Structure 1
Amino acid sequence: MLALNLEIEDFFFRDIKKDELNKVLELYNDVDESIFATGIDRQLSIEEMGEKYLEVLINSYEFFIGIFSKGNEELIGVIKGHIDYDNSEEAWISSFLIKKDFRNTGIGNKSINAFISFMNKTYDVKKVLAGVISKNKRGMEFWINAGFQHIRVIKEYISLNNGYEDFIILKKDIKTFNK
């Protein structure tokens, strides 16, 4: 697993620990809100979450990061993904979730910007890619507002709610920061 530990303003990032998987599971299982952010249209079990965690734990290209409030160390979000195996200058975000109570507060935007800056400075990542299910209008708006650009559509890529949805890939080229 890639290591990511970072503090900004009133919250901090760090790798998810095994004993926090129940809290992560709560975020993933908020299906009504998270279905388009995770591509999962059903409740996950703790065993399935454990398998996702193990996949990340044993792979040096993967990250599974918790976003925590500084005061009480409450889990308020998750960023999951990997650095591309064939191109180490690209990072892919497969899941980005913010707890309901913290949405529309700017934490999502601050989190993504801090994450991108960290990946650039620490791992020399030059591009970040994210995927959005076509029906996820709020997700598309979020990524576009964060400076991502639409680059590709994969037709009928994912099965959700007894139908197939298109998958839109967005990319942000990172301006190189002083190291």
Structure 2
Amino acid sequence: MRGRMPAALALVLLLSACGEPEISLEELRQQAEDGVCVLSVDADVEAGRDTWMRFYEATQAEEDAEVTLVSWYSGDPFGVSRQDRFYTYHLSFTDGVYTLTAEGAEGETVSEQYAHLLRFEEEPDVDSGARYQKVIACVLTDDADLTWREVIGNMGRSPVDGPLYIRERIVYSEYIDASEAEQP
């Protein structure tokens, strides 16, 4: 499977670089179900959970691993100019370092490195009105003591916010609603 990842990544990167999707959401779902990638639709993992778990478990055992992450964003629900789009990231773990790579706007490769991949399982605040019962999220960071509350508080901040800004990136988020949480 390791040899298939770069080829699949190149294909998806090529297709995602074109302005609008050249590959359908159904094709991406099939690729994720075949173990080629992990697919998130509107920031919620929809397919490829087993692929993610293999990657996550390997990294926790300090084994080199890699995974392709595809994030699909549906068009603007109000029909105001946004088309369906997807973005592809390649996440690798080698020699104790996580490297997240993507193709930038003009075809250049953008790469970020992190020391830790933290996993959170959190329930929403009782009065939040959330439609989910639990979120499972994995976050790349350099701070091993980062909390979920800090991740949430960091949303929308930029490096210019100075000491309030925390360098982190959510790479996996799965929202579980009440009906899913009750399944055996």
Structure-2-length-normalised TM-score: 0.27
Q: Tell me which structure has the larger Cα radius of gyration.
A: 2
Structure-1-length-normalised TM-score: 0.28
| Greater helix content | 1
Comparing both chains, which one has the higher relative contact order based on Cα–Cα distances under 8 Å and sequence gaps of 6 or more? 1
